[in-house]
Structure 1
Amino acid sequence: MSEVIRKSVALLTTIVPTEDQEEWSATEVSRQLDIPIQTVHRLLSSLAEYGFVFQNHETKKFRLGFTLMQLGFSIRDNLAIRNSALPTMEKLMKNTGESVYLTVPEGTEGVIVDCLHKNLLSKEREIGTRTPLCVGASNQAILSHLSSDMKQQIIQKLVEQGEISDVHTLESELKSITKWKIANSFGEMTKGTVTIAAPIFSWEGKVVASISTVFTETNIKDQRFKYMMSEVKKAAGVISEELGWLKSS
């Protein structure tokens, strides 16, 4: 059974639409995964029964079904963090005139669960985008505030994965972020952009997400930079309080 699940996941990952191709034939999937075409047909038919895959009856090709999108949106919409954060995200975007993101940790990665776009450069980061927790302000704002044990476990895994080349520099940056509860990065995820992020805490005082704003490097000015940091930090505090966090915690 685990082998069937593995092949099904590989199949779903393969037929993700791209700019060059929206639909896939069973033959193309078979060649891509090196799985017998009979097996591909059987898996596609089973997945189509539940709406995970859709077959275009004119082209006979397949694409991802709307059931996956419905499941994804149900997870996103039911995130208490997102529901609490959205009004504040909208206000932050209005106050700064820049794109705003909400990121949550999952394993060794940060996952964007919502975003409000204001500039084109930041559109490379969409909902569902995953990046290592050691990269970028939005992720480091989370990593820096995890428990010491959890932080070290994640750093060790990322070192083993080749994501971290200089542990000492990273740890120094994380200490600074922990102290000031604000992080910034320049072009780490998208060239030509600056990211400012702050951690969001739960009622238990545990970091559960980060809120960040992204703007172009041409917009960097001392007064504006300070203003952006103040607004992002304020927004993180508002969301944390919505989640029951007490400032003294």
Structure 2
Amino acid sequence: MEDRKLTVRAVERALDILLCFTRTSDLGLTEIATEIGLHKSTVHRLLATLEEKGFVIRNSSTDKYRLGIKIWELSTHLSQNDDPALLLLADMEELREQLGETISLYLRDGDERLRIQAVQSNQAVRRVAPVGARLPLTVGASSKVLVAFSSSEQQEELLNSPDWPLTVDVEHYRQQLAEVQRNGYSTSYEEREPGAAAVAVPIFDRTGALRASLSLSGPVSRLSMDKLHEYAPVLIQAAQEMGFKLR
């Protein structure tokens, strides 16, 4: 039993190392060890195994690690029937051509939202939306959508979290959630970052379960609040069509 526990612990630690790369692409041994709270000797042994299996690659000139080809090989076997990022890509591209702005797809992951797909605007001035970016649930149009249409238990867990930022008023956030529920969409105007605006809507699957948040974003020079409200019905219609494709 003890050997089994040690084996499971090694797997957990190896996965923790891989998860470090959700925030950046290149990391050194010391950075990884600090991030996951392990001795460098332990991390070095785990990295050697991951490198041997092709899950990480070490750059000999910089002595930094990055994800290896095996990660890409695994991702190619994701089923389009199960993965919204692949299944809804064509619809997102069509929406981008129609409205001319960056279109993103977010999922909730704990107390964060994760951008799982993005179709960049073709305009010269645009918001760059890197896939894999993690953002807080306390600010932003997509964050409010993902929280507003989650269960009351999930909402209260987030709103009463000890990690809730002091800069965000809880009662004002509650009022925003109620407004999002009434309108069926959310907007943000320089809320998370200066110069950026967004409008987001929920995507429900055929069972009525919340699956993702669909957003349109761009610079405030093109996206006034009136423009965001004008685009909202278009996104709602697109989200309904997308949701029908999800099991």
The TM-score by the shorter chain falls in which range? 0.7 to 0.9
2:191 to 188, 191, 197: 188
Q: Which amino acid aligns with 1:51?
A: G
- Equivalent residue for 2:135? 131
Answering whether residue 104 of structure 2 is matched by residue 101 of structure 1, we say: yes
RMSD: 3.2
Taking a change above 3 Å as real, the CA distance of residues 61 and 221 of structure 1, as seen in their structure-2 partners, is closer
Gaps of 5+ in 1: 245-249
Kept after mapping to 1: 8 A contact 2:115/2:134: yes
1:232/1:55 CA distance change after superposition, 3 Å: same
Query: In the alignment, what sits opposite 2:210?
Result: 207
**Contact preservation (8 Å) 2:104, 2:216:** yes
59-68 vs 45-54, greater mean Cα deviation: 59-68
Choose from 161, 164, 168 the match for 2:163. Answer: 161
Distance 1:173 1:242 in 2: 29
Q: 1:149 aligns with which of 142, 146, 153?
A: 153
1:54 match: 57
1:37-66 CA distance string (max 9 Å, x none)? 543442222111211122346776543312
Structure 1 match to 2:177: 174
Amino acid at match of 2:245: E
**CA deviation map 1:121-180 (0-9, x unaligned):** 421x311111222321012112111122222122222xx113363111111111111011
Q: Which blocks of at least 5 consecutive residues in structure 2 are unaligned?
A: 1-5
TM-score (norm 1): 0.79
Contact 1:122/1:190 (CA < 8 Å) preserved in 2?
Answer: no
Contact 1:15 1:62 in 2 (8 A): no
Query: Any residues of structure 2 matched to 1:238-249 within 5 Å, and which?
Result: 238-243=241-246
Q: What secondary structure is seen at the aligned counterpart in 2 of 1:213?
A: strand
Structure 1 residue 80 displacement after superposition: 3.7
Q: Aligned partners of 2:217 and 2:198: how far apart in 1?
A: 5
Q: What is the aligned partner in structure 2 of residue 122 from structure 1?
A: 127
